[in-house]
A and B are shown apart, each in its own frame.
Chain A
Amino acid sequence: MKGLKIVVLAKQVPDTRNVGKDAMKADGTVNRAALAAIFNPEDLNALEQALRLKDKYEGSTVSILTMGPSRAAEIIREGMYRGADGGVLLTDRLFAGSDTLATSYAISQALKKMEADIIIAGRQAIDGDTAQVGPQVADKLGLTQITYAEEIIGIKENVITVKRRLERGVEVVEGPLPLVVTVNASAPECRSRNAKALLKFKHARTATELQDTSEDYIDIKNDRPELVIPEWSVVDVDADPKELGLSGSPTKVKKIENVVFTAKESKVLSDNDEDINELMRTLIESHTIG
């Protein structure tokens, strides 16, 4: 079998799982800017599945495709440190405000230039939890989708076998390449950084980053062109601006409310026998239990 061309869709997200005290404002709402930007966890599970295919099928390559602002290049580098061969940053002001459908359109336009055999994405991103971009990208490209994957078992004669983890069990399915697979958190964790890759890619930068950088001791553009991470704009991927951003998004956000914890009148009890005995009696008398 010839090597596979694998593209991993990844997103840089605020770490909404760890909203610590530092990220809370005085009014009890979350200060989103204070949250760390991380590699979306299920996209790391997706990357691991891609790297396992690369290990298994000689000559395969893994690239990361991400859409976001300039600093999202961080996760492309992170992916390269863990074994990816490269990546592309899809970045343009015109993408701002896109809902899942407009995002999927942008990503699918970029994928048209990448000729992937397999596109692997995390099932969902922790900032939105929608699980929509994977299937919508597949639809836009007219590709088969296999969601909720826990393990890509293998590929034989252009047919992929995938184990899916569903709410109440497992399913093993087969589908033809090319296709889109989305991966669950129940899949194996991503391998950690590899020292050789870290050395090789630590100077990888986008053109925008190179402009801003003070690392003038190495002229990457001329000396090490393979370390330049491509940035693609709306024009580069031949996207229709009407299909992007707010105008390309069928869904609109009408209102955002911050969740604020409002205190109830709670009674504080000690763990001594008297307090607990009294509590159990109250619960039984009110028919809450018993």
Chain B
Amino acid sequence: MNNIIVYCEIEDGKVADVSLELLTKGRSLANELKCKLEALVIGSDLNGIEKTLYPFGVDTVFLANDTRLYPYVTAPHAAIMIGLFKEEKPQVALLGATSIGRDLGPKVSSALHSGLTADCTSLVIGDHYEKKTDTKYDQLLYQIRPAFGGNIIATIINPDCRPQMATVREGVMKKEIMDANYVGEIKNIEVDKYLAPEHFAVKIIERHIEASKINMKGAPVVVAGGYGVGSKENFDLLYQLAEVLGGEVGASRAAVDAGLVEHDRQIGQTGLTVRPRLYIACGISGQIQHTAGMEESAMIISINNDINAPINKIADYAIHGKVEDVIPKMIKHYKANTK
């Protein structure tokens, strides 16, 4: 009772990275709150899945294992989650800010009349004093997120309603094994207790889901292009530089909207969050929506022909020049110096 529950997403029989990142965060929150960390896994063919979860410090795995529960459809997953939460009364529930978590979270929060904060970038425990009612609240979950297109950072709390629910995007929290030998317990959920025929009103007719070929999160170097790159031809230069440096190509929303590059590569508040050793921002002006997804990079180089571009303020090196002139020179001098 009153524990932290993380909803774990399953894709192709594996637990999604974002869920493991949330378990890592959940473990440290549970230590602070002196409660258990619990995982809720809903799907089919889940035998053995607990072995992936325990090392993250999971004390209980709630398992709903039924062939009807994969692939994900809103209503049956929501019914199980709502039913379980009514019994277990978790104080905190975390979900990935994915197309599943952002579909499931609001439905569950509405049914339980509990607050939900989307796309949190930080979760910390803190107290709160409500002047109007002279009430002190201990150890609430501060749900911190950008709002207003990233122009403000808001701290949200749910003083009275439980669970305190939050979603977090992939890559925002770090994934870290706590103890490879940690063992918790499995609690099998009797799904028929929660499911009714009407929960299966939506049927999946076709499904084409591909694992992303782009490994942006693991890349030590990200070469990202903005609207200022100007053309697909110039974007090819970014691919060449990324290949030479062993990195990946990213993009700002403006470059994606202009059709210069595919959506999967978008970095920023509404895209991926990266923190590589080196981030090279090419023709990116540096709107806050973009910098939210890359500002924690260890080193930032900006290439821009506008010396006043906002990105230059957060760059370690600002190269004043055109992308198409600078990148070939970078490739040339890199090769010359590594021979």
Contacts and interface: CB of A to CB of B under 8 A. Distances in A.
A36 interface: no
Contact of A261 (B109, B152, B310): B310
Contact of B333 (A254, A257, A277): A277
Given A126-B149, A257-B153, A280-B334, A148 B99 contact: yes
Contacts of B71: 171
Nearest to B289: A17
B136 to A, nearest CB: 14
Interface in B90-124: 98-99, 102-103, 105-107, 109-111, 113-119
Contacts of A145: 74, 103, 107
B326 A101 contact: no
B205 A135 contact: no
Contacts of A128: 118, 147-148
A100 interface: yes
Given A104-B110, A271-B326, A171 B154 contact: no
B65 interface: no
Contact of A279 (B98, B152, B317): B317
Given A259-B152, A270-B321, A280-B333, A139 B110 contact: yes
Interface string A250-290: 11111111110111101111110101110111011000111
A135 B102 CA distance: 9
A138 B148 CA distance: 25
B105, B111, B246, B319, most chain A CB atoms within 10 A: B319
A253 B334 contact: no
A131 B73 CA distance: 17
A132 B313 contact: no
B204 interface: yes
B320 A288 contact: no
B333 A175 contact: no
B318 A267 contact: yes
Contacts of A166: 99, 209
Contact of B151 (A139, A253, A259, A280): A259
B314 A264 contact: yes
Contact of A256 (B153, B209, B270): B153
Given A128-B148, A261-B313, A279-B330, 16 more contacts: A14-B148, A17-B149, A19-B288, A100-B116, A135-B103, A144-B74, A146-B202, A168-B212, A175-B202, A176-B201, A256-B153, A268-B320, A271-B320, A276-B333, A280-B334, A289-B246
30 contacts: A17-B289, A19-B288, A30-B151, A104-B110, A130-B106, A130-B117, A132-B109, A135-B106, A139-B110, A139-B111, A144-B201, A161-B205, A168-B212, A173-B203, A174-B203, A175-B203, A250-B109, A251-B116, A251-B143, A253-B156, A254-B156, A255-B155, A256-B152, A258-B151, A259-B288, A261-B288, A261-B310, A266-B312, A277-B336, A289-B277
Interface of A: 14, 16-17, 19, 29-30, 32, 99-101, 104, 126-136, 138-140, 144-148, 161, 164, 166-176, 186, 249-259, 261-264, 266-271, 273, 275-277, 279-281, 283-284, 288-290
